[in-house]
Every structure is written in C-alpha cells, then in structure tokens.
Amino acid sequence: MADIPIPEIVSEINNKHQFPEFKGKVIKRGDVDYDAQSYQYASSSHLEDGIIQPAAIIKAADDSDVIKAIKYASENKIAVAVRTGGHQYSGASSTSGKNIQLDLSQTYKDFDWDDENCTSVTLGVSFPLGEFNAKLREKNRFVPHGQCQYVNLGGHIQTGGYGQLARSFGLFSDHVKKFRIITADGQVRWVAQGEDLFFAVLGGSPGNFGVLTHATLNVFRDQDYPNSRGLRAAYPYDRQRLKDLLDVMVEMVEDENFPADYDYCITVLSEPPFRTFELTYDMAHRKEGQQMVAWPPMIVVFAQWANLQGEKQTYNPDFFNKIKQVAGKGLVQVSDKEHTPMSTLTGHWIVPISREFELPYIKRTYSSNSNSQRLKEHKWTDWISDRIEDGRNWNYDKTSGPIDVGCNVAAQIQHFGGNNSRFNQNGKRNTASFSWRDANILCTVDAFYHSYQYEQTIEWQKKNDEGVGKPEAAFCEHDRRVLWGSYDLDLSASHQYYYDQNPEGKYERLCKIKQKYDPSGVFTPNRFCIGLPVPVPADSKDGIKKRIKLSGSETAKERAAAIELAKVPQLSAEDRFWEMASTERELGKTVPLWNIWRA
C-alpha cells in the first residue's frame, strides 16, 4: 500500500501570495477577526499543539468556492481541512502551516422533502442538530441523531451520529441513502450505498475523502409509533445512586433479548465553576449576549420506549419504574406516564448548551463488548462509579461556589447492545465502515480543567485508561475507540483502536479508497488522517503527556487557594441540587439548565 503524502506544514504563511477571488469571506492568519473565526470546540485544549491555525479560512458561499479552494490547494501542494460545526474533539476539522480551512457552517442549508409522504429528505450538511430536529418536527418526522445541539450534520454523518435512539433505530448514518461530495479532482458526485466511496466516507475518517455537501435520508413518522414514551429526569449526584442506575444497565446487558424499543443513557455533570481564578480561553470566546447556564452536581437519566410494533403494542412501565425506584427523588421533566411523540422526544434529548465547561479538556470514550457476567466479575459498576467520584470534590461552598479540587467531570454511559438492537443489526450490513457495532456499552468520561488542575487531571484519566486494553481491565479487555469521541492526534498511528476487522482488512481497504480519490493528499490537513506513515514511537497513550496546560498560568497562590476551598464548610451535592431547584428565575441572572431544556 502506497503511503499518502501529507503536505508540508510550516510555521509561517507567505502573506504576499494571493488567494483566488472567492464569493465568500476569506480570513487570513493575522487578520483582526482571525482568532474569533478560527476558534472551535477543541481550540483551548490544543493551543500549544498548534494544530488549529489555518493559513486562511474560506467561508465558502457555494460549490464554486469549494471547487476553487480545492484547485488552489492542489496547485500549491497544500491541504484543505473541512469544518461544518467545528466540534471535532481532536481539532481535526482545522489545520496549520500553509494549509487552509473550508468553513461550511452556512454554505449548504437547503432542505427539500423528496416525496408527498415526507419519508425522505435531501438536505445540506450545514444544519446544526437543533435546527435540523426542529425542521423534521414540523412534519412530525424524526430520525436517530446525537444530543449536542450545535453539532452540524457534516461531521455527524461521517462519524455515525451516535445518539439516544441507537438501540431502537440505529445510528443517524444508517439512514443515509446517498450523499453528494466534491472530491479532490473537483468533481461533484452523488454516491449511493454499495459504492466504495459510500463505504469510506461513512465511518472511514471525517473530511479525508472530499467535501460532503448534501445527503438524502430516510426518516420516520410519528404516527407509526403512537404509544411512544420517554423519561428525562435529573437527580442529585450521589455515588451510590449512580452505581444503582448502572446496575440497571448491566441487567439490560444480561438479557440478550431485551426488546429493541428501550434505550437507556446516564449522564453525570459536576457543577460549572463560575467563580474562578483565571479568565480561560473559552470564556474569552463567549458569544456576545450568550445566556449563562448553570446546573448543580447531577445525574441525568434518559430512557425511551419507541413502540416499534405500533398501535397494537402495549406499553409496560416496569423498566421505567425500576429506574425511578433506584434513582429516588428527582426532577422529572419528561414523564413516561403519557405518550410523547418520537419527534418531540428526540428534541427533548438534545442538550441546549454549546460546551459543558468553558475550559480545556482531556476526553475519553470507550466501547465495550463485555457481557454482563464479565462486567459483574470485574465489578465494573463499582469501578466506574469510584472513578467518577474520585474525579471531583462534588460538594459546594456557599461563599466561593463549586470547589475546584479535582477536575470538572462530564460523563455519559449508554447501552447499545443485545440481539434485538438496531445498532447491532444495522452494523451487520457492512454498507459503511463504522466499527465496533457489537458494543454493549459506550462510556464517555471527559475531564475539563483549570491550569492548576492539569496534572491531577492527567493522572485521573490515566487511571481511567486502566479500565480497558488488558485481560484484567474492568470495562473491556480491548481498547476500542470511536471517531466522534477521538482524543488521539495521530489516527494512522492509532488506527487499530478505531477500526475493527468487520469486514476483514477494513483499514487497508479504506487506505486504498483514499489513494484512489485523493492521491496527492489534498484532504490530508493534519495527522488525524488514515494512510500516513507511522512515526516512531507510536504510542498514543503517551500523547497526553504533551498536552500542557493552556487555560492560564499555574501559580502557588492558585493551587493553595484551591486546596483551602476544600476545607471550608460545604453543602452536599444533594443539598446544592435542591437549593438550585428552588431558585426562582431572575431576568439577567444565570439560568438553571432545566429551565431552558425543552424540545
């Protein structure tokens, strides 16, 4: 297999070189608004890595701008990074050196129903999930998708579209019939299931095969699921409560024939640290007029019964009652006691914030195919509950706010498996290249940190890594990762973690398709790409050591102040939860998350 060249990356741009005339705006490195326009979700986490510094950002107006940018890159032997929402965790939707970024955040927003029944839609990739969901809901239609309101469809399609409906309907990308893409030769192509480019773009490596512009989707009708139910409830964070809720999930795994109607997901959030010792990079990039949103230390439960058999199927509340029984007292915002249309439920599952915390992060997402027996033998629910408990001081000081000892935790754990799971069944078709479709549980454990928390955050994540990759690991004996939850900066060096052998030789096949459609590496703007020669050493776990603190400067005073906060009288997470729950909303003040979280 031939190596795919990566264009030269240099530290300076030749400002004398003239770009072509584009219809859309061009922002060059050094321009007044460059910092604001280049900022994206991963920026603060990779400032000193220098990977989110494109020579120019081209806000493409239409196809002609895209084709012109590709031609310019090809002729000048540079590469193009493609951004729609800019949410990629490793910063792979940006680039550096002489390379350029195509910003498609507003380029492709056409939306057309393909039939009178509104069961097929062709749309552009520039829609964020919240807006896309609302467009479908206008016609009482829905499709499975993720929970991040400001993730755009371009990257979501290429990385799967994991979300709350995974067991009942599969991934978002399972419902793509065809897509439109502009490849490195400047050709506009419609690509359908069965073609090698379809296989590669859906799951191969986001942005590595061309510029995705549109997709045609099959969508579902509310009327075919007339008794659907959902539960979304927030509970005070408590280590034992979390463990009990996870035990319910393991019971689901134990029943391999658990009905596909049920989806179950648990989110854990520590409280945002509004009173802080430093102005972080993300705080400096708040949008003007942005509403400040807060929440107490909490566990959020998402559960759903999809009524897959239609009007003849009777709802049995036993599973939901078990969840509510072990969870105890909480705030129920979506209740299973009455029918809620599926299109409305998918809106309720979307979280209405752009970022968990205004801090840099070290992220982890693990995929496990461990059965219930193995999970119980290794006491996984105890292990992960302890890891989350150890990540943070979960109490609250009434004078100073959340106690910044540990890191700021955002965790999500979801059941995907079982014989009846559409996530599992759809994966067997092999029309796309998404891996690990045999997963039973996915576990995301993210740590956001202040500068003085950096070293302890690294150590905390290192211990979390011990949960996978060896026979005695609590979660999974293999290290299995997903593209949307990536944390490596070098995909080629870490490909064995992201690509399975279903079908055999998947990664090698993807590299050959990449070579066919992009032989000169126009869409190889960074190391998070396939087919690159592997540097030595290539141990991705060591990469974390190179991520130095970026949000501010650590001082002895800051560290001492953080430690002192742990000594003052504190509210428990339980008391803090109910204190915030009883707070009345005031104009101009910080708003509790549950006050704005609705479909």
pLDDT digits (tens, 9 = 90+) for 78-118: 999 999 999 999 999 999 999 999 999 999 999 999 999 99
Let me know if residue 147 belongs to a domain: no
Number of independent structural domains in the chain: 2
Query: Which residues, in sequence order, are CB contacts of 22 under 8 Å at separation 6+?
Result: 58, 60, 61, 65, 68, 69
Last residue of a domain, one of 81, 103, 125: 103
Least confident residue range of 66-70, 254-258, 452-456, 520-524 = 452-456
Give the CA distances from residue 130 to residues 158, 285, 448, 566, in Å, rounded to whole numbers and listed in that order. 18, 21, 24, 38
**Closest C-alpha to 350, from 304, 302, 305, 306:** 302
As a whole number of angstroms, the distance between CA 51 and CA 389 comes to: 33
Q: What are phi and psi of 550, to 5 degrees?
A: -130, -15
**pLDDT > 80? residue 400:** no
Model pLDDT for residues 117-164, shown as the tens digit of each residue = 999 999 999 999 999 999 999 999 999 999 999 999 999 999 999 999
The helix or strand, by DSSP H or E, that contains position 262, with its residue range, turns out to be strand 262-269
Torsion of CA 251, 253, 259, 265, to 10 degrees: 80
The verdict on 231 and 90 lying in the same domain is no
As a whole number of angstroms, the distance between CA 453 and CA 277 comes to: 12
Model pLDDT for residues 3-52, shown as the tens digit of each residue = 455 554 433 444 445 789 999 999 999 999 999 999 999 999 999 899 99
Question: Exposure of 272 by Cβ count < 10 A (0-12 exposed, 13-18 middle, 19+ buried)?
Answer: buried
Domain of 58, in residue numbers: 6-103
**Closest C-alpha to 446, from 404, 486, 400, 476:** 486
DSSP for 200-237 reads: HHTTS-TTSS-EEEEEEEE-EEGGGSTT-EEEEEEEE-
Let me know if residue 315 belongs to a domain: yes
| CATH classification at residue 27 | 3.30.43.10
Let me know if residue 517 belongs to a domain: no
The verdict on 99 and 229 lying in the same domain is no
Let me know if residue 401 belongs to a domain: yes
CB-CB contact of 492 with 532 (8 Å): yes
Given pLDDT bands bounded at 50, 70 and 90, which one contains residue 537?
Answer: low
The verdict on 471 and 341 lying in the same domain is yes
Structure tokens that stand for 379 in this block: 């006491």
The verdict on 88 and 231 lying in the same domain is no
As a whole number of angstroms, the distance between CA 268 and CA 237 comes to: 7
Q: Interior CA angle at 161 toward 159 and 162, to 5°?
A: 105
Cis peptide before 537 (omega within 30 of 0): yes
Beta bridge partners of 80: 100
Last residue of a domain, one of 454, 487, 520: 487
Model pLDDT for residues 256-308, shown as the tens digit of each residue = 999 999 999 999 999 998 666 678 899 999 888 778 899 999 999 999 999 99
**Closest C-alpha to 152, from 97, 96, 109, 211:** 109
CB-side neighbour CA atoms (13 Å) of 297: 28
**Closest C-alpha to 420, from 309, 303, 266, 302:** 309
Last residue of a domain, one of 103, 118, 147: 103
The verdict on 90 and 238 lying in the same domain is no
| CATH classification at residue 266 | 3.40.462.20
**Closest C-alpha to 457, from 553, 551, 391:** 391
Q: How many CB atoms lie within 10 A of CB 291?
A: 11
Map residue 194 onto helix, strand or coil.
coil
The helix or strand, by DSSP H or E, that contains position 64, with its residue range, turns out to be helix 63-75
Beta pairing, strands 56-59 & 100-103? parallel
Least confident residue range of 56-70, 77-91, 197-211, 537-551 = 537-551
Beta pairing, strands 262-269 & 331-334? unpaired
Let me know if residue 478 belongs to a domain: yes
The predicted model scores a pTM of 0.93
Tell me what the pLDDT averaged over the chain comes to: 90
Structure tokens that stand for 363 in this block: 């992220």
Structure tokens that stand for 445 in this block: 């454990």
The verdict on 287 and 433 lying in the same domain is yes
Map residue 111 onto helix, strand or coil.
strand
Let me know if residue 212 belongs to a domain: no
Least confident residue range of 3-7, 29-33, 505-509, 512-516 = 3-7
Structure tokens that stand for 378 in this block: 């290794």
Let me know if residue 32 belongs to a domain: yes
Q: What are phi and psi of 145, to 5 degrees?
A: -160, 180
CB-CB contact of 45 with 360 (8 Å): yes
Let me know if residue 377 belongs to a domain: yes
As a whole number of angstroms, the distance between CA 224 and CA 231 comes to: 20
Structure tokens that stand for 476 in this block: 């999974």
DSSP for 272-296 reads: P--S-SS--HHHHTPPTTPPPEE--
**Closest C-alpha to 488, from 548, 543, 412:** 543
Beta pairing, strands 298-305 & 262-269? antiparallel
Map residue 414 onto helix, strand or coil.
strand
